[in-house]
Amino acid sequence: MRRPYIVGTPRPYPEDSGVDVLMPVDSPVIAVGNGFIIYSEGVGGFGKAHTPWIPTDEYPNDTPGCILLRLDVPVQYGSRSAAYFWYAHLSKLAYRIRDGIDAPRRVAEGMMIGHSGTGRGIPHLHCNLLFDRKQGPNDYIAPFEALKLMQTWKTAR
């Protein structure tokens, strides 16, 4: 596995559903592992935009791009396996894949799949490990635990 960012500083906090990585807007975002992009959408109104973070009056520059990557080799976490890695706040997407419409796209670990953007007015990448496609309270690895896992992964290049 490889970290999803080349430059950036992870800043998880308990109330979040994932790890926020502070980084300049338009920083490269890469695939953490081999797998299939299930969807890559949200920029420019493309697709369903599977994210609650969209531009608002309060945060007009927020970027709604998001990607769901199904990993070939799930990440073991206790008795469970996290088979999906989710990226949010992307400003650009390398591929445009609509959920349930376009065929998933195979990507290799380390491939550039998008560029970071802004969420809640802060330039960063939001990412998390999901046990399945859902994003409910028991469906992802808690932020500090996810960060510990990511810190053991290879540095992105």
Q: Residue holding tokens 């769901």?
A: 68
Q: Is residue 28 part of a domain?
A: yes
**How many structural domains are present in the chain?**
1
Nearest to 110 by CA among 37, 34, 7: 34
Q: What is the DSSP string of 88-111?
A: EEEEEESS-B-TTTSPPEEE-TT-
Q: Is residue 110 part of a domain?
A: yes
Q: Is residue 157 part of a domain?
A: no
Q: Is residue 1 part of a domain?
A: no
Residue 34 · residue 107 · CB < 8 Å = yes
pLDDT, tens digit, for every residue of 103-152? Answer: 999 999 999 999 999 988 899 999 989 998 776 778 888 888 888 888 88
Provide mean pLDDT across the span 30-49: 82
CATH number at residue 82: 2.70.70.10
Across the strands, what pairs with 10?
21
What does the alpha-carbon distance between residue 103 and residue 37 come to, in Å, rounded to a whole number? 9
Write out the residue range of the structural domain in which residue 52 sits. 9-151
DSSP, collapsed to helix, strand or coil, labels residue 121 as coil
Nearest to 111 by CA among 56, 35, 43: 35
| Cα dihedral 127/95/93/66 (nearest 10) | -40
Q: Is residue 2 part of a domain?
A: no
CA angle 37, 76, 52 (to 5 degrees): 45
Name the more confident of 32 and 9. Answer: 32
- What's the pLDDT band for 51 if we cut at 50, 70, 90? low
**pLDDT of 73 above 90:** yes
Q: Is residue 81 part of a domain?
A: yes
Residue 21 · residue 128 · CB < 8 Å = no
Q: Is residue 4 part of a domain?
A: no
- Give the pLDDT of residue 155: 76
CA angle 62, 64, 68 (to 5 degrees): 140
What does the alpha-carbon distance between residue 67 and residue 70 come to, in Å, rounded to a whole number? 10
